[in-house]
């Protein structure tokens, strides 16, 4: 079965690959959709095997959405070390991600 991903999907997935993942609320913000719509989009990404289906909540808040290793390597065009959000790194990753979005928005450059 083929899963069609839009340019917006690919943009957000690429940013998630660069930043190692994000909580669902931040994914919804990047997509410009409600949380319930973000759940449906993430489910589509999971069916396309772009996002891990492992439900983790490393810090208080919503589940984290993070790409599979194969998705990261395809999106970033390089070999990557696979990462699963842990409490120690999730808070730092989230802070850096929020700063990135505040400074550059969804700009990949």
Domains and CATH numbers, the chain: 7-104 (1.10.10.10)
**CA-CA distance, 80 to 60, in Å (whole number)?**
27
- Mean local confidence (pLDDT), 65-83: 93
CB distance 51 to 66 below 8 Å? yes
Q: Say if residue 102 is exposed, middle or buried (CB neighbours under 10 Å; 0-12, 13-18, 19+).
A: exposed
* Tokens linked to 14: 């690429």
Q: Percent of the chain beyond pLDDT 90? A: 81
pLDDT value of position 2 = 57
- Mean local confidence (pLDDT), 23-31: 96
Residue 83 region, left (φ>0) first, then alpha (ψ -120 to 50), else beta?
A: beta
């Amino acid at each position: 079965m083929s899963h069609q991903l839009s340019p917006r999907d690919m943009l957000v997935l690429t940013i998630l690959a660069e930043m190692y993942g994000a909580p669902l609320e931040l994914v919804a913000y990047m997509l410009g959709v409600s949380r319930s719509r973000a759940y449906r989009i993430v489910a589509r990404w999971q069916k396309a095997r772009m996002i891990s289906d492992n439900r983790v909540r490393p810090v208080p808040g919503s589940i984290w959405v993070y790409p599979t290793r194969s998705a990261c390597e395809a999106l970033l065009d390089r070999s990557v070390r696979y990462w699963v959000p842990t409490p120690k790194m999730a808070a730092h990753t989230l802070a850096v991600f929020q700063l990135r979005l505040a400074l550059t928005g969804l700009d990949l450059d």
